[in-house]
Chains A and B, each alone.
Chain A
């Protein structure tokens, strides 16, 4: 990467490296290589093997072929977990990105106290991954808590969202949307790159704010948008902690927050069906891979890169 960068072209061609030098390189990399082999690659291969076995953690794994996969498709709770997760990805991700972009656009304008606002909007995603935020969320959306009382002011006496199978998933979406800081920062960086002249020229031509947004902002930041869509989609597929904690470890009520990883965890560690859980994990990997591939394929149609760079 570095060699192709601007200003590096005059550098002399690199000398062929000696054997010794390579060895030193590998030696320095060895902690990472060892970690990768023993902590990532090894367990992954083992888990792929387990996906085709019946393994209860204690007795030796028994080879069962594709049984875990056929069991999965026949299992109504598994289908429910797929439904909940898909819904969460399809609804939660766009809403979160829309919020991130909207706030990024507000914060991109020069105004007094700008850095304070940026920090304030980013803060929730710093604590976002923590268990405490989910616990606070559970408290906010419980019966007779802040949200419930707010509803009552408007004459809606529906009770809290946490115990309601119809509503609890919205509490989870709200939690993820609230943590829009990371994509917001990336959007902000993208917005800064859009040349002012384009807006000025458009304004001279009489384009209104919406027109400028659709015709200039969106196309110009489309690479950044693509990056955020990709990252947030993958992230949404992996939702676990917030669902687990907001539902008090039950992924309920009535399996309403039974996200894929929650069911996987339950099958593996509570029901001791590690083979089944491994099969689920591999299917998730394949599904996320497929979605990523589709996104990459679609980007040709809507992501605009400036030709030749700047």
Chain B
């Protein structure tokens, strides 16, 4: 304030006039350019951990350099926490503009009009839809609306501790059967003294494959694609295998979470998404590779390409910028060089060719996906009804509780179907 002491009233007024004129000029400048020309900020939320955060941040920096008028604010959580936060934000009418998404959630949020239809943006040229690898371009199309764009593809696989499998002399090749697999587990248990598998009975995506090998599926358009008669023998058998030590000690599996049982040496194998082997290699001491999904008839694996995708949200004020960002993340070769196989094998050919893996786990993933594509075993994904996310969580939890001896397989199966019914009805 003391600085103004030397100024008289007239000078002050003059100064005020100047700044008012200045303000008027800037306002005019804004007005003539139209709303979309000013700097725009969009929010991007995703799930994952710190290493993914660094990579995403690097991509965003690159994007902002290429599109100086768009700023991207990012936010991330662990997978379950991510959805809890997103539910709340979306219900409050303030969801992030761009989210990482998965097939389990598509119908749920489509039914609630949360997701942005990207088709109009593609028509306007803000979103490039050419150049996706086979089977991926229509991945998130529901009822004619394009609700997401895949960033990478992944498939279920058996991630194995290569050293243990080798020492035990277990052969694993495309077309091997469940009997072959189980004989291998017993060989590992008796010869190497560790469990052959972490316990696959709570993994919804694996059970889906088993059902599909038998002409069914976990979900149909309407709801559940299987009944108590199918699940009961599967879980009864699983409990026996946990007790006999062929599957890992579930108490120990529980306490090392969120680390994986395989990486911590509690088991020699685990059914999961193929891109997880990158993470396991960082976590564990052994060397990990991928084995194909066992089959019933030696041919049909039931596999399909799953995918992480990017979706816009319907409430966004900047659909064009959202589409531009998604297009950049899915097509720009530089993004692939930064992200690697972190979110699966890149979905577009441009990105697939831009990243040549040099580390063993990434190489194995590339080889695995090429192999299953060549074998012609891939099928289209079955749609997941709204509420599928809650069903998946219930399957994992109740299967886990049962294997800890909390409830009998009969009660567990009943409890699962009762919870699944509630989830599908209320979502």
Contact = CB atoms under 8 A, between A and B. Distances in A.
A162 B254 contact: yes
Interface string B394-409: 0001001100111100
A273 B387 CA distance: 11
Interface residues of A, number: 26
B220 interface: no
A305 interface: no
A57 B87 contact: yes
Contact of B254 (A163, A255, A269, A273): A163
The prevalent SS among residues of B at the interface is: helix
A173 B167 CA distance: 45
Contacts of A249: 78, 80-81
B393 interface: yes
User: How big is the B interface, by class?
Assistant: 20 to 34
Contact of B87 (A159, A160, A272): A272
Closest 9 CB pairs of A and B: A163-B255, A163-B254, A254-B406, A57-B91, A163-B251, A58-B112, A162-B255, A269-B84, A254-B401
Given A162-B254, A164-B251, A252 B393 contact: no
Contacts of A252: 254, 397, 400-401
A270 interface: yes
Contacts, number: 79
B83 A270 contact: yes
A253 B251 contact: yes
B213 interface: no
B281 interface: no
29 contacts: A54-B426, A56-B427, A57-B87, A58-B91, A58-B112, A76-B415, A142-B255, A159-B252, A159-B255, A162-B255, A163-B250, A163-B252, A163-B254, A163-B255, A164-B251, A165-B405, A165-B406, A248-B257, A248-B258, A253-B251, A253-B404, A254-B405, A254-B407, A255-B406, A270-B83, A270-B390, A271-B390, A271-B426, A272-B390
Contact of A58 (B90, B397, B405, B415): B90
B256 interface: yes
Q: Is the interface of A mostly helix, strand, loop or mixed?
A: loop
B88 A57 contact: yes
Contacts of A160: 251, 255
A249 B254 CA distance: 12
Interface string A240-268: 00000000111011110000000000000
Interface string B217-260: 00000000000000000000000000000000011111111100
A143 B255 contact: yes
B334 interface: no
Interface of B: 78, 80-81, 83-84, 87-88, 90-91, 112, 114, 250-258, 390, 393, 397, 400-401, 404-407, 415, 423, 426-427
Counting chain A CB atoms within 10 Å of each CB, the highest count among B254, B415, B426 belongs to B254
Contacts of B81: 249
A247 B114 CA distance: 32
B252 A143 contact: yes
A112 to B, nearest CB: 43
Contacts of B112: 56, 58-59
B368 to A, nearest CB: 30
